[in-house]
Structure 1
Amino acid sequence: MADVKNLVHESRRRLAWSQHKLADELGVSRQTIISIERGRFDTSLPLAFRLATIFDTTIEEIFFPGDQS
């Protein structure tokens, strides 16, 4: 499986949201947000779409192969 990086932390900070607020908006635990931000959890496609909607961007702008940072 390819190493996937993400900009969830940066996108969340741009909104000035806490991990708890983002977790509440997505209906997941704060631990899930922590794991996503640290690259320890591969999100499902529906969750990735919800993140893109919240951040008003595309999935491709949030998640990308690890060798393209």
Structure 2
Amino acid sequence: MNNTLKVERAKKDITQQDLAEEIGVSRQTINSIESGKYVPSTVLALKIARYFEVTVNDIFELDLED
């Protein structure tokens, strides 16, 4: 799964820690999502999308292998 989470954070000029605190997860979780090591739950993906005021599909995209 690909994601544009780092780009979205850059647009709002927020750190991984800032985002983590806003949505109630650890900074390590945000880092793992951004690096593709962790696929967020549906609820977490929705919280992230809501924070950035975009759709889940605007941030997360399936790879051809997924």
TM-score of the two chains, using structure 1 as the length reference: 0.88
**RMSD, matched Cα:** 0.8
In 2: Cα distance, 1:53 partner to 1:17 partner: 15
| Corresponding pairs, count | 64
Q: Which runs of 5+ in 1 are unaligned?
A: none
Aligned residues with identical type, % of pairs: 39
Show structure 1 runs of 4+ deviating over 4 A.
none
Match of 1:33 in 2: 30
1:65, distance to aligned residue in structure 2 (A): 1.7
In the aligned structure 1, how far is the partner of 2:42 from the partner of 2:58?
14
| Cα deviation 1:1-41 (Å, max 9, x = unaligned) | xxx10000100111100110000001110000000000100
Q: Which runs of 5+ in 2 are unaligned?
A: none
- What is the DSSP-based 3-state SS (H/G/I as helix, E as strand, rest coil) of the residue aligned with 2:28? helix
Question: Given the alignment, which residue of 40, 46, 53 partners 2:50?
Answer: 53
